[in-house]
Structure 1
Amino acid sequence: MKICGIVTEYNPFHNGHLYHIKKAKEISECDILIAVMSGNFVQRGEPAIADKWLRTKYALENGVDIVIELPYPFALQSADGFAKGAIRSLQLAGVDCIVFGSETNDITKLQTIAKEAFQPKTKDFSMAKNFSMTFDTLSSNDILGISYLKALQNTNIIPYTIKRTNQYHDTDLAQSIASATAIRKGVFNNKDISHATVMANELNKQHAFSLYYPLIQTLLTTLSPSYLSTIFLMDEGIENLFIKKAVQYDTLDDFIDSCTSKKYTKSRIQRTLIHLMTQTTKMEIDNLSNLNHVRVLGFNEKGKTHLSSLRKKDVQIASCFKQIPQAFRQIELRACHAYAYPLNGLNRKKELSKEMQPPIYIP
């Protein structure tokens, strides 16, 4: 039996993802397709436009056999940390290969760059400069793909690429395959997105990142700088910049724009703010054990059979919240509380109760 893995966020699930699923199955000739998916917060440092359970449902209804969650500590990191957690999760899930999107669609070129990046820091400054310049010319999916390939180097998982059909940050909503960025922008601007995503009727503005700014502002103006410096990714004194800007600016966009620079990218700032909201500390992340569990968000009948085989191989399958190792579980619970922040009392309670539910099963 051949098992293929894909790394996803489905923020939201759209026609490009349908294409990815179809091509992954075609290229790999797999019997089972497993998606590892970010939870309620995504790698760019934002709340997901729809919660992980709804996104899991659409993935299962559109060709994925098992959806597993990328643990929060990996989902909210830069490319290398994100890829490390994703590949480890798929390795535990028993995949033989992965298929990822690429702008160049040149696996040999990407593997060459990945091998160079895997080497100890070189004293050959011309090589280092060329490597840096190469990254400047690569697009988002290729950069993430290089991180996947670095994470794969000590595994037996075979990588394949498919040509990405649009740019990651493309805001053109006219095409049937529009980027997730364009679709989210369409939702927030009350545009018709029904041609681009099967989730069109499920998407709304209740988790817009701007709604979290009162919480962010309160934390930055009431917590001490010494405590803020213990938050994961809160490095190089950035907490002092955040405190200053939180007092000055009344909107999240203005706050982030004022903090963004060559030193601090927008995504880095946003990821740090999410860690602030979840009160995730550097010590917590440093003390986490190696990732040795798989949290299952959903599966179908074929997926059920594969999960049974994994259990027989003593893979630690977390099919309910209490089975997640405690250190990871504590962080995931705080992430759920933070994600539910903008909701009213009843809907907040419903969102929190979802965290405890069993995986979604679609026969």
Structure 2
Amino acid sequence: MALKATGIIVEYNPFHNGHLYHAAQAKKRTEADIVIAVMSGNFLQRGEPAFIHKWARAEMALHNGVDLVFELPYAFATAHAPTFAEGAIRILDAARCSTFCFGSEDGDIAPFQRSLHLLQQSGGQYEQAVKDAVGRGLSYPKALNEAYLAVATTVPVDEPLADLSKPNNILGFHYMEAAQAIGSTMQAITIPRIIAQYHDDAIPGNQIASATGIRKAFFQSDGLQAVNAFIPETTRDILLDWQADQRQFGSWSTLYPYLRYTILREGPDQLKMIADITEGIENLFIRAATTHSTFEHFMEEVKSKRYTWTRIQRMLTHIFTGFTYSMRQLMPAPSYLRLLGMTAAGQRYLNETKKRMKLPLISKAAASTDPSLQMDIHASNMYALGIGNNQIGSDYDRHPIIIR
């Protein structure tokens, strides 16, 4: 009998006990044989450098319930929610997952299904309302929620809709929207996010904390002791190995000197060609980089009501990596499955399924000249330069991790 796969969309920044629960529940509730994770590379959806590189994070996952890890290409991993979701869903669909499972604040799939149906019946009213709200200066998340609420009030609904003011609900909705848009046959499943929400601090006495809270506790305490309770033993061991190699952990504070240099070197004519740069904000970036020697002070100057912290960080990520509007146009959809690692069960699934997969499987970076893959390699090199780990070019040498 063919192995059945369920898919999850992750960043693992770093892998923690909540992720362990998610992977186990995804497998249990879908009655799947294996779990496939599509994981962001070295730069993430909120416009941040990863805490540690993609290979270490993939290894954490493979020790803790995930059987295959595919990399979400840079162009989608660093995009706003709809594009991020579409890229990830296309990869899971191409890998022949029968289901996908996401964590949400609602924890029930029915409200998402009703919300998706409602917006489909709006006749374009929802899309236009989003555009109008963005035009008035609202951030995209606020514009989406305002438009959603406006449509919801015009149509009588007897049962609850999804709360699209919550970050995990928003992503989950976009996953389902993307699956429907591409005609995927994957069934959507959701599980409730437990104990810690997306931005919550790590609370002593709990065993689950958000990745944001874990990173905050780590950087404030400058050590793993503060976060040991929230992470599996294998995550701790990999982080200890990372420290032993005298590597820095990824953060904008670490990368800022390189970012500042790039902003000041490029100047306004070059910066305005960078993806997501709009409305002359490149001039504000140059003024702030000229004045401020720390990332925190730089951000204090450039943040505004019109631009969310996350949106600004995405712009800065693209400046740091040199990702332009014209480069983005070359990458309209994922064009390969980049394998980062597998378990023995994952390897069996690949052997059984790879001929039926909808995208080519890439296990060696040197085997392809795809522009999206070349961007992933470049982003990895820039990340390695920023954290000073002397692994520039290592994507060409790395083989998929195998955990038996």
What interval of TM-score do these two structures reach, taking the shorter chain for normalisation?
over 0.9
* Correspondence for 2:191 among 162, 167, 170: 162
Contact kept, 8 Å, 1:336 with 1:355, in 2: the verdict is no
| Count of residue pairs the alignment pairs up | 360
Q: Residue 295 and residue 137 in structure 1: after superposition, are their counterparts in 2 closer, same or farther (change >3 A)?
A: closer
Query: What is the Cα-based RMSD across aligned positions, in Å?
Result: 2.3
> For residue 173 of structure 1, what is the aligned residue in structure 2?
203
Contact kept, 8 Å, 2:106 with 2:162, in 1: the verdict is no
* Correspondence for 2:371 among 327, 331, 339: 327
Counterpart of 2:58 in structure 1: which amino acid? T
Q: Deviations over 1:152-203 (max 9, x none)?
A: 1121110010000121000133210011011101110125211111323444
Q: Distance in 1 between matches of 2:263 and 2:403?
A: 43
Could you tell me the TM-score, scaled by structure 2's length?
A: 0.83
Question: 1:116: Cα distance to partner?
Answer: 4.3
Contact kept, 8 Å, 2:366 with 2:396, in 1: the verdict is no
Q: Deviations over 1:26-74 (max 9, x none)?
A: 1000012100000111111111111111111111111111010001100
Q: Residue 316 and residue 184 in structure 1: after superposition, are their counterparts in 2 closer, same or farther (change >3 A)?
A: same
In percent, how many aligned pairs have the same letter?
A: 38
Question: 1:79: Cα distance to partner?
Answer: 0.7
> For residue 287 of structure 1, what is the aligned residue in structure 2?
330
> For residue 341 of structure 1, what is the aligned residue in structure 2?
385
Question: 1:145: Cα distance to partner?
Answer: 0.6
The answer to which of 267-276 and 232-241 deviates more is 232-241
Q: Distance in 1 between matches of 2:123 and 2:42?
A: 35
Q: Distance in 2 between matches of 1:109 and 1:72?
A: 31
Q: Residue 324 and residue 260 in structure 1: after superposition, are their counterparts in 2 closer, same or farther (change >3 A)?
A: farther
Q: Distance in 1 between matches of 2:187 and 2:169?
A: 17
Q: Which structure 1 segments of 5+ residues have no match? A: none
Contact kept, 8 Å, 1:295 with 1:317, in 2: the verdict is yes
Q: Distance in 2 between matches of 1:42 and 1:54?
A: 15
Q: Distance in 1 between matches of 2:117 and 2:379?
A: 35
1:141 matched to 2:168? The reply is: yes
> For residue 264 of structure 2, what is the aligned residue in structure 1?
221
> For residue 99 of structure 1, what is the aligned residue in structure 2?
101
Q: What's the secondary structure of 1:224's corresponding residue?
A: helix
TM alignment of 1:244-255, pairs within 5 A: 244-255=287-298
The answer to which of 135-144 and 73-82 deviates more is 135-144
> For residue 188 of structure 1, what is the aligned residue in structure 2?
219
Q: What's the secondary structure of 1:12's corresponding residue?
A: coil
Q: Residue 304 and residue 92 in structure 1: after superposition, are their counterparts in 2 closer, same or farther (change >3 A)?
A: same
Contact kept, 8 Å, 1:298 with 1:361, in 2: the verdict is yes
Contact kept, 8 Å, 1:122 with 1:128, in 2: the verdict is no
* Correspondence for 2:302 among 233, 248, 259: 259
Q: Residue 343 and residue 292 in structure 1: after superposition, are their counterparts in 2 closer, same or farther (change >3 A)?
A: closer
Q: Distance in 2 between matches of 1:360 and 1:48?
A: 19
Q: Which structure 2 segments of 5+ residues have no match? A: 130-145, 154-160
1:109 matched to 2:111? The reply is: yes
Question: 1:240: Cα distance to partner?
Answer: 1.5
Question: 1:135: Cα distance to partner?
Answer: 8.9
Q: Distance in 1 between matches of 2:277 and 2:261?
A: 17
TM alignment of 1:12-31, pairs within 5 A: 12-31=14-33
Q: Deviations over 1:309-361 (max 9, x none)?
A: 333226410011123442112211220121012344xx32x353245311001
Q: Residue 135 and residue 63 in structure 1: after superposition, are their counterparts in 2 closer, same or farther (change >3 A)?
A: closer
* Correspondence for 1:231 among 241, 264, 274: 274
Q: Distance in 1 between matches of 2:371 and 2:11?
A: 23
Q: Distance in 1 between matches of 2:117 and 2:162?
A: 14
The answer to which of 117-126 and 333-342 deviates more is 117-126
Q: Distance in 2 between matches of 1:128 and 1:59?
A: 35
Q: Distance in 2 between matches of 1:5 and 1:136?
A: 23
